[in-house]
Structure 1
Amino acid sequence: MEQRHPLPPFTLETALQKVQLAEDAWNSKDPERVSLAYTVDTEWRNRDQFINGRTEVVAFLAGKWEKELDYKLKKELWSYTDNRISVRFEYEWHDKDGQWYRSYGNEQWEFDTNGLMQRRFASINDLPIDSGYRKFL
C-alpha cells in the first residue's frame, strides 16, 4: 500500500511539512516525481482545466514546464484541518520570448488516509513583470 508521510490528521507541524514537501517536489520540475504525491485517481482543477489521474497529471506538468521556463515556486500554509490543507503560493517563470511572469494563487488539498492527495483545486492569476522585479532568483 502506497503511503506518503506525513499522514492525516494533520497538526501544524505535519501540515507545514506537507507544504514544504510539495514545494520541493514542484521546484524539481519532474512530472513523475510530483505525480507520486497524488492518488492514482486524483482529481484536479487547475485554472480552467480539469485533470483526472496520475497519467493526466504527468502530461499536464510536462506541458506546463515546457511553457513556464525557469519556474521557481514558494508555497505558504494558509490553513489545515484533519485531512485538508489550504495554501497560498506565488511562482515566477518566463516564456520562450523572455517575458517574465509572477503567478499568484490558492490551492485546496484533500488527502486520503495514506497521505496521498486525492483532490487539488487551484485558482491562479498571472502578472507580467519586468525581470528587475523578480523575487525568486
Structure 2
Amino acid sequence: MEIKPPLPPFTRETAIQKVRMAEDAWNTRDPERVVLVYTEDTRWRNRAEFPEGREQVRQFLERKWTRELDYRLIKELWAHDGDRIAVRFAYEWRDDANQWFRAYGNENWAFNAQGLMTHRYASINDLPIKETERKFRWPLGRRPDTHPGLSDLGL
C-alpha cells in the first residue's frame, strides 16, 4: 500500500507541509511524479475537464504543461479539517506567442488514510499580464524558501 505522509487528520502544521509538498511537485512539471500523490481512482474537476484516475490525470498534466510554458506556482493553505485541505494558489505562465498570464484559483482536496489525494476540485481564472508584471521569477523548479508567498506578495 502506498503511503504519502503527512497523513490525515491534518494539523495546521501538517496541512501546510502537505500544501508545500504539492506545490513543489507541481513546479517540477513532471506528470509522472505528480500523479503519484493521487489515488488510482482519483476524481478531479479542473476548469471544464473532469479527469478520473491517474492515467487521465497524467494525460491532462502533459497537455497542460505543453501549453502553459515557464510555469511557476505558489500554493497557500486556506483551511483544513480532518482529511480535507482547501488551498488558494496563483501561477504564472506564458503561451507560445509569449503572452504571459497569472492564474488565480482555489482547490478543495480530500485524502485517504494513506495520505493520497482522492479528490481535487479546482476553480481557476486567468489574467493576461505583461512580462514586466510578473512576480514569480525564480529559476524553473522548486520555489526558493526565501521567495515570498501569496500573502507576502499581496496576491
TM-score, with structure 2 as normaliser: 0.88
Please tell me whether residue 2 in structure 1 is matched to residue 11 in structure 2: no
Matched to 2:27, the amino acid is: N
Percent of matched pairs sharing the same residue: 61
Matched to 1:114, the amino acid is: Q
1:48 positional shift: 1.0
Structure 2: distance between partners of 1:58 and 1:30 = 9
Q: Which residue of 1 aligns with 2:101?
A: 101
Matched to 1:81, the amino acid is: D
Please tell me whether residue 86 in structure 1 is matched to residue 83 in structure 2: no
**Unaligned stretches of 5+ in structure 2?**
138-155
1:88 positional shift: 0.2
Structure 2: distance between partners of 1:103 and 1:69 = 13
Q: Secondary structure at the match of 2:136?
A: coil
Structure 1: distance between partners of 2:35 and 2:58 = 6
CA shift digits 1:73-109 (9 cap, x unpaired): 0000000000000000000000000000000000000
Structure 1: distance between partners of 2:55 and 2:33 = 12
Q: Which residue of 2 aligns with 1:117?
A: 117
Q: Secondary structure at the match of 2:98?
A: coil
Structure 1: distance between partners of 2:3 and 2:32 = 16
Structure 1: distance between partners of 2:43 and 2:99 = 31
1:62-81 aligned at under 5 Å gives the runs: 62-81=62-81
**Unaligned stretches of 5+ in structure 1?**
none
How many residues in Structure 1 have an aligned counterpart in Structure 2?
137
CA shift digits 1:54-87 (9 cap, x unpaired): 0001100000000000000000000000000000
Structure 2: distance between partners of 1:108 and 1:12 = 16
Structure 1: distance between partners of 2:8 and 2:26 = 21
1:32 positional shift: 0.7
Structure 1: distance between partners of 2:84 and 2:115 = 10
**Which structure is higher in strand share?**
1
Structure 2: distance between partners of 1:18 and 1:54 = 19
Matched to 1:23, the amino acid is: E
CA shift digits 1:24-44 (9 cap, x unpaired): 000000001000000000000
